[in-house]
């Protein structure tokens, strides 16, 4: 197992705006590598540079052992790409889309038909073969896009928010497919902002404002958090959240349903302060207990106003 995707000091500017600001990482062969970050953090820009769609302003990148900038065609043979927005032809049928990409990837005549049928089956779209792609529901579209991206059997797959706008059941099925691919030794680079999806990844990189702010396995990321996470149950969660954010921003308050999470570096000193705040503002606290960090907490920690680089 070696490194199959590598970025060194990747930078992309759009005018005065720096979308990706000196990003470096390496992905092992056969890994599911998750790129986690809020909207506009630079996830899509990074993935587009890796796929050779967008030229980096500076920096180096290799995909499948090939320098993407010098040998784009070779690199592109080794990758399958699924963009965030459905980007197959809506006025073509399912089968015509598959046929089109079979031609673009120059699948050999003998095996072409077989592969096309296989991808149709993998997408579970046999019944929809002659339907226009534009008429398919969201989940089907995603599967067709994945099928077309895998048509040439690439060892590396890039998925840019593959399950955005897809219903929960389709999402689960989709991740089962991804797990299958990984089981076959394919390397998967996926961007997402769903925490449950991030848990499926072998390794994660958290990106914010174009910079990687944390990286590691999900467990490492959770364990690396210092201090104590308190879960506060209150009848006025929204007011409580606003209050803490105003008065104690360094605790990175976050709302999880009706529960408020705050992280305290020094529990003894901070808990007093917190309770006093609530009391002064007439916020009733039902319970307050220490819990272990979830990935979502890590995310809020790192991305929050008091977020520190936790690498």
Interface residue list for other proteins (CB under 8 A)? 48, 51-53, 55, 73, 76-77, 79, 81, 83, 85-92, 96, 99-106, 148, 158
Q: Are strands 285-291 and 3-14 parallel, antiparallel or unpaired?
A: unpaired
Of 69 and 193, the one with the shorter C-beta distance to other proteins is 69
Q: Which two tokens stand for residue 243?
A: 């209050």
Of 99 and 117, the one with the shorter C-beta distance to other proteins is 99
Provide, rounded to whole angstroms, the least separation between the CB of residue 108 and other proteins: 10
Provide, rounded to whole angstroms, the least separation between the CB of residue 116 and other proteins: 13
The Cα–Cα gap between 73 and 265 comes to: 51
Best CA proximity match to 5, nearest among 58, 115, 79: 79
Provide, rounded to whole angstroms, the least separation between the CB of residue 34 and other proteins: 20
Strands of the chain (E only): list them. 3-14, 17-28, 32-36, 58-63, 66-67, 79-82, 156-160, 187-192, 203-208, 211-216, 228-234, 254-256, 259-264, 285-291
Of 89 and 194, the one with the shorter C-beta distance to other proteins is 89
Of 55 and 179, the one with the shorter C-beta distance to other proteins is 55
Provide, rounded to whole angstroms, the least separation between the CB of residue 94 and other proteins: 13
What strands lie across the sheet with 228-234, from one edge to the other?
254-256, 259-264, 228-234, 285-291
Of 83 and 123, the one with the shorter C-beta distance to other proteins is 83
Best CA proximity match to 159, nearest among 87, 247, 212: 87
Provide, rounded to whole angstroms, the least separation between the CB of residue 85 and other proteins: 5
Provide, rounded to whole angstroms, the least separation between the CB of residue 104 and other proteins: 5
Is 212:23 a contact under the CB 8 Å cutoff? yes
Provide, rounded to whole angstroms, the least separation between the CB of residue 121 and other proteins: 21
Of 141 and 200, the one with the shorter C-beta distance to other proteins is 141
Of 69 and 211, the one with the shorter C-beta distance to other proteins is 69
Q: Which two tokens stand for residue 289?
A: 């207990």
Q: How far is CA 50 from CA 24, 30, 166, in A?
A: 12, 17, 25
């Amino acid at each position: 197992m070696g490194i199959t995707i590598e970025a060194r000091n990747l930078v992309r500017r759009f005018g005065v705006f720096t979308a990706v600001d000196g990003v470096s990482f390496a992905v092992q062969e056969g890994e599911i590598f998750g790129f986690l970050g809020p909207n506009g953090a630079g996830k899509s820009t990074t993935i587009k540079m890796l796929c050779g769609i967008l030229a980096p302003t500076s920096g180096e990148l290799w995909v499948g052992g090939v320098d993407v900038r010098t040998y784009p065609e070779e690199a592109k043979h080794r990758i399958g790409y699924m963009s965030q927005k459905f980007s197959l032809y809506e006025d073509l049928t399912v089968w015509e889309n598959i046929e089109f990409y079979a031609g673009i990837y120059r699948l050999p005549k003998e095996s072409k038909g077989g592969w096309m049928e296989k991808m149709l089956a993998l997408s579970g779209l046999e019944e929809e073969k002659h339907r226009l792609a534009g008429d398919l529901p969201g989940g089907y579209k995603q599967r067709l896009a994945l099928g077309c991206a895998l048509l040439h059997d690439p060892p590396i797959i890039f998925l840019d928010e593959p399950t955005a706008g897809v219903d929960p059941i389709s999402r689960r099925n989709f991740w089962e497919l991804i797990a299958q691919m990984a089981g076959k030794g394919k390397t998967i680079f996926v961007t997402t902002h769903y925490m449950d999806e991030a848990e499926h990844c072998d390794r994660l990189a958290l990106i914010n404002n174009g910079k990687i702010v944390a990286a590691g396995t999900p467990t490492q990321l959770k364990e690396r958090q210092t201090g104590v996470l308190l879960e506060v149950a209150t009848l006025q969660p929204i007011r409580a959240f606003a209050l803490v954010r105003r008065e104690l921003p360094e605790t990175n308050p976050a709302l999880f349903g009706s529960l408020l999470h705050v992280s305290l570096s020094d529990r003894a000193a901070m808990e007093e302060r917190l309770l006093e705040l609530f009391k002064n503002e007439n916020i009733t606290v039902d319970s307050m207990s220490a819990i272990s960090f979830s990935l979502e907490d890590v995310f809020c920690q790192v991305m929050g106003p008091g977020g520190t680089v936790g690498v």
